[in-house]
A and B are shown apart, each in its own frame.
Chain A
Amino acid sequence: MRAVLLRLAAKLAAGLAMVLTVATFTFFLVHALPGNPGDAAYEAYVLGGMPPETARAKVAVIYGFTSHEPLTDQYLGYLGQLARGNLGVSISYSGVPVSDVIRAAVPWTVLPVLSGLVVSFLVGCTAGVIAAVRRNSRTGGLLSLSGSLMAGVPSFVLALLLAFLFHTLWNVLPYGDTSDVTIAPGFTPDYVGSVATHAVLPVATYALLSYGGWLLTMKSSVASVLGDDFILAAELRGIAPATRMRYIGRNAVLPLFTTLALSIGHMFAGSVLIEDVFDYPGLGNLLLKSIGSRDYPLMGGAFLLITVTIVLANIVAEMLYSVIDPRVRR
């Protein structure tokens, strides 16, 4: 137990260093972007019909939220705030804490990303086992082909295709928003059903996008395990096929856990395009909006959250892997 805790502490320390590095990189990167929130806001006001003088004056107030200190001082201030768990105040949302803005968006990224990941992992791994065991049959061939196809489709193409088919053409699934706004939120069948139907298209996109990867990796892993001596021994000893399959599955799925953790980060990053296509108001959409308005604190907060998620997912996966596979603990 002590060894596990020590390992966890080491991983957390490494994760913290990683987060700090990414936070530093992100801070300087977003500040290096040309343009500034004031210019973006001014232009938006003028294009919205506001007289230039009034727009300039309004921007002057917004600028009040932006530090004019030297960049290094801003950076040190940022780190200090971060240490206190303060992500700062949004510029485009006029002084609303970044944490409040992010908190409102996060569930609508976590829900579809994790649902999509779980669905694709279960379906992809199962299909991968079948494709490996029946690799010489038509079923195996078709499954492998489906995996190769899905692994090669760009995310926005798939998202546009699903949106077109299921919303525009057949109009069987809703598009945009997280639920029907006329239904009061609560743990009621109507609301839960509405949230579920609104999440179908983004979840399906995430699931289909990663399904191919799981299938092909699992197929390869199973094929490798099938040739191991212990499987041959089990076969010779007359162990039931179902039990043998359990051995195969458990051994073949081990390498996929590391990929699973990495996939979380990959899918979070992919949320930017997918949420934009479906107008699904999660973290990806928020990030796009914050970049457009050069909302530095919000951009930094959103990037940081994605980083922390990836780092944590990796730590959890590694710890879990060491529990599942005792060989790693040696």
Chain B
Amino acid sequence: MRNARRAALPLAAALLLSGTAACSSSASSSDSAGGGVFTTIDGNHPISAGAPMNPFNAAGNTFLGYDTMQLGFTKKNPQDPNDFFPGLARSWKTTDTSITVELEPGAKWSDGKPVTVDDVKASMAIALTQGAATVGAGVLTQGLDVAEIKETAPHTIEISQVPGAKNIQFPRLVLTQKIVPASVYGSMLPADVWDVVHASQSADPGQADAAKAAVDKLNEIGKKISAFAPATDVSAGPFVITRINPGSAVLDRNPHFFAADRIGPKQVVVRNYTGNEQIWNYMTNGELDAAPFTAIPDNVLQRILKAGNQRVDAINYVDAAIAFNQSVAPFDKVEVRRALAHVIDRAAVTKVGQPVGGAASKATTGLIDKVAEKWLTPEQQAALDPYPHDETKAAALLQQAGLTKKDGAWYLPDGTPWTITLQTVNGFSDWIAGGTVLANQLTAFGIPTKTALTADFSTYKKEMADGKYPVGFWLTALGPGTDAAFQRLYGADNGFTAIGAAVTHKTGKGSGNWLNTPTSFTLDGATVDPGELTARLTLLKPDQQKDIVQQLARLTNQQVPVVQIWDYTNVQFVNDKRFTNFPKAGQDGLLSNSPGVWMMQGYVQPKSKK
């Protein structure tokens, strides 16, 4: 949704620029460099003037997959959270309590020093100072609960989880930590850092104060590391930063990279952006070899395609939905929520809200449709209510809930006219456009509906958490993991906090609970708690999750805490004027990573080489 948020000015620019762009000439810095300069934008990471070249700084100028390396790069496989492309790890094996990693034997830093176990050990300690330790303090749960790291053979290390901990995400958390050189960062870690880590991980109630003190100490170290500004970039990735301007960075090929022969571009330029419009303009001028996902109107798409860019689609684990505050009547009645799901013509809303990269949701399950198809059998999918556009059914459901219709307008059970204010956020162009269609549909059905804008997303979050909006747009199904997806419905926004399998629930002012879904439901004759089911997902292996996923999907489909409207598509662009052999549409795992990771797999070669 950051992409949608960035589309306020962009939309104005698009309107201004549309229709005439075909006349634009195209030239770029890449041309002048003989095709060896790969120009792109890091969609998750604008350049930050004044920020250090430090991957642990929240706005630091480093680039994952180019100069910042991990042990592996996730394929975002919804059925296997531990499915990865190799990074500094050539291979890995997992057990219930540990992961054994074989480091790439030829891996070297850009200063020529080899990547060693000490680097990994220092990097894991640093990771534990960056907040991951806080969650696990005194309770062995979802944090990066690394207890020991030991070399078991040359280039091979065993990374053990804290005894007693049970976290299905452990291998993923280990593999995705940023690995930095101990020669640069190690001096900021005290000699006893692992003792402090172990103290922070103690599950002994008698040691709770010591654990808390240890966490505080780790956080203090973490602050210093975050603010650290290395004089030069020392990279184990395919590129190393040569220079950073306030608005772009240049990275040169790292001659010591273990697979340097696979890396096509001799140089990468990463440009800044402040909104979608900049990315579109660069593409229109043929200045980007690859562009990240942006929410995009159809006229801009045509302009971009005319300029010679090619669209590459991949799965995007995000869904736009209409969410209800169930503490507000009449949304506390399930019949009302179901009726609204029938009133909304999702295809029509999607056509306006997400014309380029959206697919109307088939059924509300808490998951995007492509993930639901992988987790539910065809029979289970067929049993879901798709809530088709059906105003007769909607009317019947509302009458069941005690509402009445007079002179074409619906009235609440107490006789007051029913009106809806649908909340959206300023700058979220797709929500605003889709919301207008949605409001028209509801108004035509007899529920006068208007859209209202909140100034920005921070305010939206705050006011939503305060329970200010009875109905508003919301992002759901944030996968690929089913646990993360259902957390969006049955996690903090619904007052649930999970510490391992132990779940607590809060409601009322200050709790952050704005969805206000009941905590127990009857499903197939049994009472289930969606918060508890969701928490269990984080502890179970994918093959053990099926029953719970199916229960939660059915529950969500029946109770409709949100109406899912559209699934986003990850629409990226590549330009083959200078480079060729880009990943193709459908290579979802690859396309979920930066082009630096594509290059490590041998993709993106200069055209002149062919």
- Residues in chain A within 8 A of chain B (CB atoms): 33-36, 39-41, 43-44, 46-49, 51-54, 56-62, 64-65, 89, 92-96, 100-105, 108, 156, 160-161, 163-164, 167-171, 175-182, 184-185, 276-277, 279-282, 285-286, 288-289, 291-292, 294
Please report which residues of chain B, range 205-261, place their CB below 8 angstroms from some CB of chain A when the two chains form the complex: 219-220, 222-224, 226-227, 229, 243-250
Give the complex CA separation of A96 and B226 in angstroms: 8
Q: Are B52 and A96 in contact (CB under 8 A)?
A: yes
State whether B50 touches A181 (Cβ < 8 A): no
- Contact of B58 with A104 in the complex, beta carbons under 8 Å: no
Contact A95 B227 (CB under 8 A): yes
Contact of B246 among A43, A108, A160, A288 (CB under 8 A): A108
- Cβ < 8 Å to A, chain B residues 413-464: 456-463
- Complex Cα distance A291/B111, Å? 39
Evaluate whether A163 and B50 lie within 8 angstroms (CB atoms) in the complex, with A47-B2, A52-B492, A54-B173 already known: no
**B564 sits at the interface (CB 8 A):** no
> Which residue of chain A has its CB nearest to the CB of B480?
A49
- A59-B244 Cα distance, complex, nearest whole Å: 27
**Contacts of B56 on A, CB cut-off 8 Å?**
94
A276 engages B50 (CB within 8 Å): no
Interface string of B119-142 (1 = CB under 8 A from A): 000000000011111110000011
**How near does chain A come to B532, taking the closest CB pair, in angstroms?**
16
Quick check: B272 and A177 within 8 Å, CB to CB? yes
Beta-carbon nearest neighbor of B50 in chain A: A104
| Residue in A40, A92, A94, A102 with the greatest tally of chain B CB atoms within 10 Å | A94
Rounded to whole angstroms, the CA-CA distance of A171 and B20 in the bound complex is 13
Partner of A51, one of B129, B245, B284, B484: B484
Q: List 14 other contacts, CB 8 Å, given A94-B56, A181-B244, A279-B274.
A: A46-B478, A47-B475, A47-B478, A51-B484, A56-B492, A95-B226, A96-B227, A105-B50, A160-B12, A168-B285, A176-B278, A184-B243, A285-B274, A289-B46
* CB–CB B33/A168 < 8 A: no
In the complex formed, the residue of A with least CB distance to B135 is A57
List the B residue with the shortest CB-CB distance to A185.
B243
Whether B484 and A181, one on each chain, are in contact in the complex, defined by CB atoms closer than 8 angstroms, is no
CB-based contact B51/A93 at 8 Å? yes
Cβ contacts A to B, 13 pairs, < 8 Å? A34-B459, A52-B492, A53-B538, A54-B132, A58-B131, A58-B132, A164-B13, A168-B285, A170-B24, A179-B245, A276-B274, A277-B9, A289-B46
A289 to B12, CA, bound (A): 20
Is B380 engaged at the interface, CB distance under 8 Å to the other chain?
no
> Which residues of chain B are near A178, meaning CB under 8 Å?
245-247
On chain A, the residues within 8 Å of B456 by CB distance are 35, 291-292
Asked if B101 lies at the interface with its beta carbon under 8 angstroms from chain A, I say no
Q: Are B29 and A35 in contact (CB under 8 A)?
A: no
Q: B15 to nearest A CB, angstroms?
A: 10
Rounded to whole angstroms, the CA-CA distance of A179 and B248 in the bound complex is 9
A161 to B16: give the CA distance in the assembly, Å: 8
Provide the bound-state CA to CA distance between A36 and B130, in Å: 20
Residues of B within 8 A of A (CB): 1-2, 9, 12-13, 16-17, 20-21, 23-27, 29, 33, 37, 44, 46-52, 56-60, 76, 129-135, 141-144, 169, 173, 219-220, 222-224, 226-227, 229, 243-250, 267, 269, 271-275, 278, 281-282, 284-285, 318, 456-463, 465, 475, 478, 481, 483-484, 487, 491-492, 538
Closest 4 CB pairs of A and B: A35-B458, A177-B247, A104-B50, A95-B227
| Bound complex: CA A168 to CA B17 (Å) | 8
Q: Is B130 a contact of A169 with CB atoms below 8 Å?
A: no
On whether the beta carbons of B248 and A181 are closer than 8 Å, the reply is yes
CB < 8 Å: which of B48, B131, B173, B274 contacts A93?
A: B48
Cross-chain contact B58 with A176 (CB below 8 angstroms): no
A105 contacts across to B, CB distance below 8 A = 49-50, 246
* B273 cross-chain contacts in A, Cβ below 8 A: 176, 279
* Cβ B246 vs Cβ A39 within 8 A: no
A292 near B281 with CB under 8 A, answer no
**Shortest beta-carbon distance from B562 to chain A in Å:** 16
A171:B26 contact, CB within 8 angstroms: yes
Q: Is the CB of A47 within 8 A of B1?
A: yes
Name the CB-closest residue of B to A98.
B50
Q: Return chain A residues, CB-CB under 8 Å to B129.
A: 61
Contact B49 A62 (CB under 8 A): no
Instruction: Say how far A104's CB is from chain B's closest CB, in angstroms.
Output: 3
Determine whether the beta carbon of A59 is less than 8 Å from that of B131. yes
Note all chain B residues with C-beta closer than 8 A to A39. Answer: 458, 461-462, 465
A281 touches B246 (CB 8 A): yes
A-chain residues with CB within 8 Å of residue B48 when the two chains form the complex:
93, 101, 289
- Contact assessment for B272 and A279 in the assembled complex, using a CB-CB cutoff below 8 Å: yes
Known: A176-B247, A182-B269. A93 touches B57 (CB 8 A): yes
Q: Which chain A residues border B284 with CB–CB below 8 Å?
A: 168
Name A101's contact: one of B49, B132, B248, B271 (CB within 8 Å): B49
Whether A57 pairs with B248 at a CB distance below 8 angstroms is: no
Chain B positions within 8 Å of A279 at CB level = 247, 272-274, 278
Contacts of A49 in B (CB 8 A): 76, 478
A96 touches B131 (CB 8 A): no
Q: Is the CB of A181 within 8 A of B27?
A: no
Q: Please tell me if the beta carbons of A64 and B219 are within 8 angstroms of each other in the complex.
A: yes
Cross-chain contact A104 with B246 (CB below 8 angstroms): yes
Residues of chain B lying within 8 A (CB to CB) of residue A40: 457-458, 461
Known contacts A36-B458, A57-B131, A182-B267, A96 near B50 by CB under 8 Å:
yes
Report chain A residues within 8 Å CB of B169: 51
